[in-house]
Structure 1
Amino acid sequence: MVDTSRGDQVGEFRGVAGPYWSLRPIGGGTEWEAEPEQVRPVDPIERLSAETARANARSRGELL
């Protein structure tokens, strides 16, 4: 899913929390809540880009 209210941040759908959807960054990390009307399906290129960015950050030893 893409949260358009957070600069098109890509996350995996984790569930519903009241009126919000819980999303988690691709590959792990801290979940956040998003308004359903601000979320759209991710396209394959966006997902690949998010996965690559996470792998690159890990290879540099960055805390994620």
Structure 2
Amino acid sequence: MGEFRGVVGPYWSLRSVVGGVEWEAEPERVRIATPAERLRANARSSGELL
């Protein structure tokens, strides 16, 4: 799961919600995370287990 950071040519630049190195993705392969996916990612970033 990544946070949108901007546009780099034909790609979108994304970065992990907990920081780290950005990566590029084709916009047609990106989708909005489901509520369950966001909950799991938030739990992992704070060290919790779901």
- Shorter-chain TM-score above 0.5: yes
Q: What is the distance in 2 between the residues matched to 1:43 and 1:13?
A: 15
Identity %: 60
RMSD across aligned positions (CA):
1.5
If asked which structure has higher relative contact order (CA below 8 Å, sep 6+), I would say 1
Gaps of 5+ in 2: none
Matched residue count: 48
Gaps of 5+ in 1: 1-9, 58-64
TM-score scaled by structure 2? 0.81
Per-residue deviation, residues 2-54 of structure 1 (Å, max 9, x unmatched): xxxxxxxx111111000000011012111100001110111121111112112
Structure 1 stretches (4+) deviating beyond 2 angstroms? none
Q: Give the structure with the higher percent helix.
A: 1
